[in-house]
Amino acid sequence: MNDNPSFASVLDMPADQIERPKPLPPGTYLWAIEGRPEHTKSKNKGTDQINFILICLGPAEDVDAKLLAEAGGWQGKKMRMTFWPTETAAYRLQEFIRDDLQMDLTGKTLRELLDETAGMQFAGHVKHEMITKDGQGRPIAEPWVKAEIDTTAPLSRD
């Protein structure tokens, strides 16, 4: 199967043969931030959010190699990590930038620092969450597993 199918080829796929991609298995991965973060609004409440698009650079030793192979490997996998720019949650973004990306905060605003995050790398632990309801809280017919980054850490600077 083509890794980069055209719009037309996707629409021509037999609908009853499309499968949900398998998520990365739990464990720690090396991540790089792709470009500048996106400033968007959440789907449900319209809350402002900052989304980092992350590119997987490889797994750490705690990732099960067999499960990783079953998920199609780590190459080309991307994830999103979201922060909310509110007065009560801004410290989380600040800690991520300072502690995990190891950026110097001195004399800079969060806006200025965000502009400098493209290409920065960190370690992020992936966990699984079973999705059983839709965005409005209604049960869904076929529950599925969502992978998300639950903890982050700086890369060791040996």
pLDDT score of 157 more than 70 = no
Q: Is residue 59 part of a domain?
A: yes
Q: Is residue 158 part of a domain?
A: no
Q: Could you give the CA distance from residue 91 to residue 56 in angstroms, rounded to a whole number?
A: 25
- The number of distinct structural domains making up the chain is 1
- Helix, strand, coil shares of the chain, percent, nearest 5, are 20, 35, 45
Specify the DSSP class assigned to residue 67. H
Cα 60 to chain centroid, rounded: 16
- Work out the mean pLDDT of the chain and round it to a whole number: 91
Which 3 state secondary structure label does DSSP give 82?
A: strand
Q: Could you give the CA distance from residue 158 to residue 155 in angstroms, rounded to a whole number?
A: 9
Q: Is residue 10 part of a domain?
A: no
Count of other CB atoms within 10 angstroms of residue 54:
20
Q: Is residue 8 part of a domain?
A: no
Q: Is residue 68 part of a domain?
A: yes
Whether 83 and 62 have beta carbons less than 8 Å apart is answered as no
Q: Is residue 9 part of a domain?
A: no
Q: Note down the domain range covering 111.
A: 21-153
Residue scoring higher pLDDT (8 or 59): 59
Q: Is residue 45 part of a domain?
A: yes
Return the sign of the alpha-carbon dihedral for residues 73, 38, 18, 132.
Answer: positive
Q: What is the CA radius of gyration of the chain?
A: 18
Give the pLDDT confidence score for residue 1 in this predicted structure: 36
- 10 Å CB burial of residue 49 (0-12, 13-18, 19+) is buried
Q: Is residue 38 part of a domain?
A: yes
Give the model confidence (pLDDT) of 13-59 as tens digits: 999 988 888 999 999 999 999 999 999 988 778 889 999 999 999 99
Residue scoring higher pLDDT (130 or 33): 33
